[in-house]
Amino acid sequence: MAILSKLQPLHHPLFKKHNVHVEIKRDDIIHPIISGNKWRKLKYNLQHVKKTQNINGVLSFGGCYSNHIHALAFACFEQNIPCVGIIRGEVAHVNNFTLSWAKHWGMKLHFVDRKTYRRRHDNNYLAELQQQFPHYFIVPEGGSNELAIAGVAEIMSELKQQTKFDTLITPVGSGGTLAGLISGDKENYDVEHKLLGIAVLKGADYLINEVNALLPATVKKHRNWQVCTNFHRGGYARFSSDDAQRILEFNQTTAVDFEPVYSGKMILAFLDLLAQGYFKAGERIVLLHTGGMQGLGGMIERGILNTADWPTPKRVASSE
C-alpha cells in the first residue's frame, strides 16, 4: 500500500542522554487542512457516504474549536458532501478561527447547550437528529467509529514498510486513534508492540473501556497497550505557561512543531517518562504526530498563545 506520511528521525540531547532512538510519524503533514488522525478517520467514513445510496450528507459533533469539525467541513467541501455540525457552545463563537472556516466551507452549524450536547451518544437524541436531518450519516464526536478504526490501522501497515520499533506513543482524546493502532498492530505484526496512549483530558480512565468497545473482536486479545491518564496537565485544553514554554523549546530543538492540546501533551509525557527511566536503553520509539495544528488559530486569537512564538495556521484553503 502507498505510504501517506513520512517517518523522520527526531533528535534531542535527552534522547542521547537516555540512549533511546526516536522517530516521528508525520501525519500532521498528510494534507494542509485535513491533517493527522482526522484524515485517517474520515477516509472510509466519507467513502461510505459517497458510495451509499440515500445518504444526503454527514452530521457530526464538536466544540467551538474542534479539530474534527474543522477537518470534516473541509473534507466535505472538497468532496461536495453536505454537512452539519452540532456545536457545543454559544452562537457568539460562530466567527472564531475554527468555525468561521467550517461555515466558509459550507458546514451548517447548529449550536446546543452543554446539557443537550451530553446526549450526543444517546440513541433517542440521535433518532431526533435523524428526523431533523433525514438520511444524514451520523459520525461520532472525534470521528471515532468502526470505519475510522480501519483508516487509522493503516498507519501500522505503513510503519511496517518504514522502520522497526519497540514502542509507539500517541495522544488520546476519544480513543479511536489508539484503537486503530491496536487493530493495525494485530493485523500487521506477529509480535505485539508496546502502544502508549497519552490521555489529554482529566478523569480519562473511562477511555480504556472506550478503546475496548471500538476494537474489532479479532484484536481484543492484544494486551500490550495502555492509556496513561496522569499527563493531562490540568484537563482538556489546559496547560501552564511552563508547559507551553517546554513545548516551544522542544519545537525549536527538533524543528518539528507541536501544539499544546494534543501533540504537545504527548511530548511532555514522553519527556517526563524519559526522566523517570521508563524506557530501556536502546529502545526504538515512534511518536505519532496526529495534527491538530489548526487549534493554534483559536488560542492565538484569544491571546492564550503569542503569535510571535507559534506558527499561525493556514487561513486560506489551497483549492480556493
Task: State the CATH number of the domain containing residue 44.
Answer: 3.40.50.1100
Together in a domain, 249 and 163 = yes
Residue 316 has pLDDT above 80, yes or no: no
Together in a domain, 55 and 28 = no
Domain that holds residue 266: 7-33+145-301
Together in a domain, 273 and 154 = yes
Residue 2 inside a domain? The answer is no
pLDDT of residue 315: 58
Residue 315 inside a domain? The answer is no
Grid cell 520509539 in the structure block, residue: 285
Distance CA(276)–CA(103), nearest Å, equals 45
Condensed to tens digits (0 to 9), the pLDDT of residues 58-70 reads: 999 999 999 999 9
* Nine-digit cell string for 132: 431533523
Residue 194 inside a domain? The answer is yes
The count of residues in the chain is 320
Residue 99 inside a domain? The answer is yes
Condensed to tens digits (0 to 9), the pLDDT of residues 89-121 reads: 999 999 999 999 999 999 999 999 999 999 999
Work out the mean pLDDT of the chain and round it to a whole number: 94
pLDDT of residue 318: 41
Residue 12 inside a domain? The answer is yes
Together in a domain, 166 and 289 = yes
Domain-ending residue, one of 88, 118, 143: 143
Together in a domain, 183 and 267 = yes
Residue 312 inside a domain? The answer is no
Distance CA(315)–CA(293), nearest Å, equals 12
Together in a domain, 130 and 156 = no
Together in a domain, 239 and 106 = no
Together in a domain, 120 and 231 = no
> Residue 123: pLDDT band by 50, 70, 90 thresholds?
very high
Sign of the CA dihedral running 199, 48, 58, 98: positive
* Nine-digit cell string for 95: 466567527
Residue 317 inside a domain? The answer is no
DSSP state string for the chain: ----S-EEE---HHHHHTT-EEEEE-GGGSSSSS-HHHHHHHHHHHHHHHHSTT--EEEEEEETT-HHHHHHHHHHHHTT--EEEEEES-GGGGGSHHHHHHHHTTPEEEEE-HHHHTTTT-HHHHHHHHHHSTTEEE--GGG-SHHHHHHHHHHHHHHHHH---SEEEEEESSSHHHHHHHHHHHHH-SSPPEEEEEE-SSSGGGHHHHHHHHS-GGGTT--SEEEE-S-STTSTT---HHHHHHHHHHHHHHT----TTTHHHHHHHHHHHHHTT-SPTT-EEEEE----TTHHHHHHHTTSS-TTTSPPPP-S-TT-
Residue 150 has pLDDT above 90, yes or no: yes
Together in a domain, 29 and 166 = yes
Domain-ending residue, one of 81, 111, 143: 143
Together in a domain, 258 and 248 = yes
Residue 258 has pLDDT above 80, yes or no: yes
Together in a domain, 24 and 168 = yes
Residue 303 has pLDDT above 80, yes or no: yes
- Where residue 22 falls (left for φ over 0; alpha for ψ -120 to 50; beta otherwise) is beta
pLDDT of residue 230: 95
How many separate domains does the chain show? 2
What global pTM score does this model have?
A: 0.95
Together in a domain, 28 and 168 = yes
Residue 204 inside a domain? The answer is yes
Residue 161 has pLDDT above 70, yes or no: yes
